Amino acid sequence: MKRFSIPSPLSVLSAIVIGVCMIAILWPSALTSGDPATGVAPEHLLPPDSAHWCGTDQLGRDVLTRIIYGTRETLPAAFVATMTGIVLGSVIGGFAALSGPAVDTLLSGVIDVLLAIPELLLALTVVILTGFGPIHAALAVGISQTAGFARIVRNLVRTLRSQTYVEAARLSGTGFWGIVGWHILPNAFRPLLGMGILRYATAILSLATLGFLGYSAPPPAPEWGLMISEGRDYLATAWWMTTFPGLALLTVALAANRLSQAMTNAGEERP
């Protein structure tokens, strides 16, 4: 008999945060009526009040409005980055695990070399070589995550290959692709999904870092990292310009991290 565990309050709160972000991505006008790119000059650098809950920036733009619209710049790009890492890592890791010892040793060596390079440094190298912009930044972050996914997929597939049900399927005459499609991929999906959500949080932070350094979306895009970068010159007089985008970034990353842990724990508790 299956046991159903009650989600923790933190997991529920994290799901609500992600749900609000989805609304902001698909329908930002439901959360704010302002324009993220247009400001009112006389209202520049206003502190948080009832009219502007998160204050205004140096151009008189509402910071909360820019944070809400910023979800469209940061979160979809982080999803593209994570999917790029999952797809490339799954292909490389799966090929290494299902190939002969020579190919496995070669690919494992390449993976180890890439894992020795800090992800942010690798992402910076890729984005400098390929060009600036949100798409290039997302692909760069995805490529920097490929080695981590490849290592996980390789180990996971090698473990699944040794399971009794896989041996039974092989002895019963099931072909190579049948074993992969019916036995390995379905059982690898849950751990890979949990890891993907965890790496999604890392991708958000990496993309914000690239935006802070000026390698992602150009001004006046309401990208969270760019907003923090623009506000660093006003820390003494307008702390809200960096504080609230930073809190939004941290909140979403922690929510994604918490959901990843909840999914992992649910998978381990399943009988």
Closest CA to 217 of 101, 127, 84: 127
Q: Other C-beta atoms within 10 Å of 176: how many? A: 9
pLDDT of residue 207 exceeding 60, the answer is yes
Spatial distance between the Cα atoms of 38 and 117, rounded to a whole number of angstroms? 41
Q: Note whether residue 265 is domain-resident.
A: yes
Q: Note whether residue 128 is domain-resident.
A: yes
Exposed e or buried b per residue across 75-87, where buried means at least 16 C-beta atoms within 10 angstroms of its C-beta: bebbbbbbebbbe
Spatial distance between the Cα atoms of 179 and 130, rounded to a whole number of angstroms? 38
Average pLDDT (10-30) is 91
Count up the domains in the chain and report the number: 1
Q: Note whether residue 38 is domain-resident.
A: no
pLDDT of residue 228 exceeding 90, the answer is yes
Confidence of residue 130 (pLDDT cuts 50, 70, 90): confident
pLDDT of residue 63 exceeding 80, the answer is yes
Closest CA to 140 of 220, 76, 219, 78: 78
- Domain holding 206, by residue range, is 9-29+59-269
Q: Note whether residue 105 is domain-resident.
A: yes
pLDDT of residue 29 exceeding 60, the answer is yes
Average pLDDT (194-219) is 88
Q: Note whether residue 36 is domain-resident.
A: no
Average pLDDT (148-156) is 88
- Its pTM stands at 0.84
Percent of the chain with pLDDT over 90: 41
Q: Note whether residue 44 is domain-resident.
A: no
Average pLDDT (194-215) is 89
Confidence of residue 69 (pLDDT cuts 50, 70, 90): very high
Average pLDDT (16-38) is 91
- 247-266 pLDDT per residue, tens: 999 999 999 888 877 776 65
Confidence of residue 2 (pLDDT cuts 50, 70, 90): very low
Identify the pLDDT of residue 193. 79
Confidence of residue 145 (pLDDT cuts 50, 70, 90): very high
CATH code assigned at 156? 1.10.3720.10
pLDDT of residue 41 exceeding 80, the answer is yes
Spatial distance between the Cα atoms of 124 and 212, rounded to a whole number of angstroms? 12
